[in-house]
Chains A and B, each alone.
Chain A
Amino acid sequence: MAQALMTENSDLPTQNMVLNIGPSHPATHGALRLCAELDGETIVKATVEIGYLHRAFEKHTEVSTWSQIIPYTDRLNYCSSLLNNVAYARAVEQLLRIEIPERAVFIRVIVSELARIMDHLICVGTSAVDLGALSNFWYFFNVREQIYDWTEKLCGARLTTNYTRIGGVMRDLAPGFDEGIRKVLKSLNKALKDVTKLLGRNRIFMDRTQGVGIVTRDEAINWGFTGPCLRASGVPHDLRKAQPYYHYDEFDFEIPVGTVGDTYDRLMIRIEEMKQSVRIIEQALEKIPSGPVMVDDSRVALPPKEKVYGSIEGLMNHFMLLTDGIKPPQGEIYSAIEAGNGELGFYIVSDGGPKPYRIHCRPPCFPLTQAYERLVQGRMIADAIAILGSLNIVVGELDR
């Protein structure tokens, strides 16, 4: 009887099942859709569909003035909007061939590193939540909240910062920023220590992440990976070192590199990077010179109020900058910085007019997401969630 049942069962027709995850799903961290063909619980084939958050950023830029685009850049990678602001402003400044004041450079370094820390905090914190480790999330988000408080004092907003201006930054650091940030860094170091202890040698965490979603060195390069995901695969490449900008070559910091290129490495690299960012911020706070935070150039900077009200030239300058805007010379440029997720580049074509002719944003997530389809092949659904978290896909910049 039992024998008969066994043979009968082995003849049962089986069929792969298609499971749809997203576009609205807590584990996808945004509107991302994954269609997975399953054999049991194993993913045979997966297709990623993006575009649910497409807001026509690039089309919008063609009808906006150069300054009006800065708020749009906040919404690219909304986890680290300050970095996007810096990347865009730097690209336009390069096109204009403007050197911004030293103090503005240091402020940009500080806010960039703070934004990088926030980005990594979210990535590691939420990935851990997806794997069932909730407490790390609170340890990290506690610190992130403190950084947000300082972001608010810096520019009046928490998420949509709109902090840089073409030619400098919106305003100087808030009073008490130095001591305040040092305090935040202290609590960050504590949180990093706590989370490293909780996760680093945690059996469950290691089993879920080690050897999962391995990307080899050559694959990572061929896929166009940049940032922490590339470094996790063992490529010691960081734009801050390889093609330094904003005095990054004068700061003393290291580039953590992974060995295996799995989910564990990708997450741990971020923890190490936060420690390096702390070092950079501390050095920048030491070295920051006093002086203006906006370049003295009537082509881009608004004149001081007494000139606007006191002289016809100042009034005209103010009026023209606000109505007509900045006019970079004709030409094109590709300018990239090391953002939280990797190389954030802007390819800008200017026809010499008050509006850009074409702006293309190179989001670091884009190559990461297209590799995701292949990384989940042959893995379990639970692994897919772990891999997705470690790639840190931010749909705002993915879909633009």
Chain B
Amino acid sequence: MMIERLQQVFPNEVLSTYTTAVGEAVAVLRKDKLHDVLAYLNQNSDCLCEALLDLCGVDYLSQLKPGEARFEVVYQLYSYQHNHRLRLRVKIPAEDMTLPSATDLWVGANWFEREAFDMFGFQFAGHPHLKRILMFEGFEGHPLRKDYPIEKRQKIPFPQEIP
């Protein structure tokens, strides 16, 4: 029900919607106006996704077809009011990896976005403190990208001060 509403309100942004075999509602989005979509889902009384439970990136490099976006940012939203979940798969092309930060809607998005930045290099515009979280300062590259070699090792620099 929620995905149909979303499709009606944002016909250009929602690329497709579907329900998985186990009944999860999924919407595939383009990243334009992403913040409007997230704000709508957060505030509209029919959706009311009060919680952002998870955010992660996926690199589809090995499955890439021409014309498709290489990356995806996946949001897992949950509404306590209606007890339903929604998954948003936002397509992010490799050429332009900026997308709006959701930290103003969900405070909890902060570290999840930092992790996605750390692992894939997404640039969350408007994030208050976008820096590495799991990897160390001075680490080069983004380890969960498919073109980051699994056996690559990097030297850990001398510990630095936290600002």
Contact = CB atoms under 8 A, between A and B. Distances in A.
A63 interface: yes
Minimum-distance CB pairs A-B, first 8: A224-B108, A360-B56, A362-B54, A51-B134, A370-B111, A223-B108, A54-B134, A367-B108
B50 A63 contact: no
Interface stretch (B17-25, B33-41, B91-99): B17-25
A97 B109 CA distance: 31
B136 A51 contact: yes
A399 B54 contact: no
Contacts, number: 101
30 contacts: A33-B162, A35-B162, A47-B163, A50-B134, A51-B133, A51-B135, A51-B136, A54-B134, A54-B135, A58-B119, A58-B144, A59-B144, A59-B148, A219-B107, A221-B50, A222-B50, A222-B106, A224-B53, A226-B53, A243-B83, A334-B76, A334-B85, A336-B53, A345-B54, A347-B74, A347-B76, A351-B63, A357-B62, A358-B58, A367-B108
B162 A47 contact: yes
Please tell me the size bucket of the interface on B: 35 or more
Interface string B1-34: 0000000000000000000111010000000000
A399 B20 contact: no
Interface of A: 33, 35, 47, 49-51, 54, 56, 58-59, 62-63, 94, 97, 219, 221-226, 235, 237, 242-243, 331-336, 343, 345, 347, 349, 351, 357-358, 360, 362, 366-367, 369-371, 399-400
A18 to B, nearest CB: 9
Contacts of B107: 219, 222-223, 371
Contacts of B20: 331-333
Contacts of B59: 358
Contacts of B76: 334, 345, 347, 362
Given A97-B21, A333-B20, A345-B54, 5 more contacts: A35-B162, A51-B135, A224-B108, A336-B53, A347-B76
